[in-house]
């Protein structure tokens, strides 16, 4: 009995990236605390990274080096690390002032 294996194509990677992206957008829209929103942003960025790597694969363009998507994903990872560090510092400062991380209490800040 011969077993059939389906080949993983670029469309499979794009589907996984789209699912991650939509999950991140839903997480950002429904969460009320800052950490949940940050997790949603990270999911969106990871979904975009998967799509960058899928679009830069050798299956779509065989004449290039194939590093375009990986290079863009590396820049997005650096951006996500900087965003997480700044956002965590803001969330900790907000928690010290308000004793909560509920983003609806942010209108009470005075600047």
Encode pLDDT of 87-97 as tens digits.
889 888 888 88
pTM: 0.78
Identify the residue whose tokens are 């209490």. 105
Identify the residue whose tokens are 């929103």. 37
Q: Residue 12 and residue 14: Cα distance in Å, rounded?
A: 5
Q: Which two tokens stand for residue 35?
A: 């950490």
**What total number of domains does the chain contain?**
1
Q: Residue 11 and residue 80: Cα distance in Å, rounded?
A: 25
CB 20 within 8 A of CB 47: yes
Q: Which domain holds residue 55?
A: 12-100
Residue 59 lies inside a defined structural domain of this protein: yes
Instruction: Look up the CATH number of the domain holding residue 73.
Output: 1.10.287.3510
For 40-52, write each residue's pLDDT tens digit.
999 999 999 999 8
């Amino acid at each position: 009995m011969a077993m059939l294996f389906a080949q993983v194509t670029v469309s499979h990677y794009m589907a996984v990236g789209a699912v991650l992206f939509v999950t991140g957008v839903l997480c950002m829209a429904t969460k009320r605390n800052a950490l949940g929103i940050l997790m949603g942003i990270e999911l969106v960025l990871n979904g975009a990274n998967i799509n960058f790597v899928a679009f830069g694969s050798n299956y779509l363009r065989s004449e290039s080096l194939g590093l375009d998507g990986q290079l863009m994903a590396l820049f997005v990872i650096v951006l996500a690390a900087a965003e997480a560090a700044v956002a965590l510092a803001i969330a900790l400062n907000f928690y010290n002032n308000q004793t909560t991380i509920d983003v609806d209490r942010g209108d009470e800040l005075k600047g």
